[in-house]
Amino acid sequence: MIPITDPRIEHYLQDLRPAPHPIQAEMEQLAAEQGFPIIGPEVATLLAILVATSDARTVFELGSGFGYSAWWIARALPQDGVVHCTELDEGNIARGRDFLERAGLTERVKWHHGSALAALAQHQGHLDMILCDIDKEDYPAALSAALPRLAPGGLFVCDNTLWYGRVADPAEQDAATRGVRQLNQMIKDEPTLESVLVPLRDGLTVARRRDARHGAR
Ligand code: DHB
Ligand code: MG
């Protein structure tokens, strides 16, 4: 595996973290106890800034776990904004509902139990942001499904696009690594997107659907 960030830099970033909100701290402790892969506070803060600065109203999450990223997104949304959450595990949904209820954010969060891509297919209308964090072998299908749903100027944000550094090692040929690699290539080849892969934590891709105003450049 190829380390993405030197451990000394990781520690330095950790030292710069502000004190967590009590609900955030609870969620991070649960993730640590269960070994559950949350995006963590740095990626989450970047996500919240993207939601706020893009004036996103409707966000769709592919893979929500117990609502860690949804908590950050919901806080960054306007009063009438909605984050759609998708999750296969009912226990995770119950825990997520409880966290977001106690945070006073229930009205901005809608949970869908079952396949993330099936829920996306049923959603009507354009989305201002789609966050992708499902099984990595499904990443290419997720991008194909997400692209036509993205509003002009909308953001496709994808976690784990460096996948433990495996994407950069040709010897790694498992299905998950190939899925992430294929997604990264699809984004590179997609003329309607402007994108950057931020090497934060496990890699976060931020891709924006071009609109007429910021059209082909
Ligand atoms: C894993 C999955 C994730 O979505 C993540 O952010 C980190 C790790 C995993 O399955 O190992
Ligand atoms: Mg992830």
Contact 209, 195 (CB under 8 A): no
Instruction: Name the 3-class secondary structure at 194.
Output: strand
Under-50 pLDDT residues of the chain: 216-217
Nearest residue (CA) to ligand 1, atom 8: 37
Q: What is the pLDDT of residue 204?
A: 98
In whole angstroms, give the CA distance from residue 133 to residue 88: 13
- The pair of structure tokens assigned to 80 is 């009438």
**Strands in 7-126 per DSSP E:** 58-62, 82-87, 109-113
Mean pLDDT score of the chain: 96
At position 146, the amino acid (one-letter code) is A
**Residue of the nearest CA to atom 10 in ligand 1?**
37
Q: How far is the CA of 202 from the centre of ligand 1 (A)?
A: 8
CB 150 within 8 A of CB 156: yes
And the tokens for 104?
A: 């006073």
Nearest CA to ligand 1 atom 3: 37
Q: How far apart are CA 198 and CA 206, in angstroms?
A: 8
Rounded to whole angstroms, the Cα distance separating 211 from 208 reads: 9
pLDDT of residue 1: 81
Token reading at 45: 């803060």
Name the residue type at position 54. S
Alpha carbon of 80 to ligand 2 centroid (Å): 27
Q: Is 159 in the pocket of ligand 1 (CB under 6 A)?
A: yes
Q: What is the DSSP string of 142-172?
A: HHHHHGGGEEEEEEEEEE-SSGGGGGG-TT-
pLDDT single digits (tens) 162-203: 999 999 999 999 999 999 999 999 999 999 999 999 999 999
pLDDT of residue 212: 82
Q: Are 182 and 139 in contact (CB under 8 A)?
A: yes
Residue type, 203: G
Q: Is the CB of 133 within 6 Å of ligand 1?
A: yes
Q: What is the pTM of this model?
A: 0.96
pLDDT at 35: 97
C-alpha of residue 200 to centroid of ligand 1, in Å: 14
Non-local (6+) Cβ contacts of 93 within 8 A are 64, 66, 85, 87, 111, 113
Share of the chain above pLDDT 90, in %: 96
Please, are residues 132 and 157 in contact by the beta-carbon 8 Å criterion? yes
What one-letter code names the amino acid at 210?
R
pLDDT of amino acid 167: 98
The rounded Å distance from CA 101 to ligand 2 centre is 23
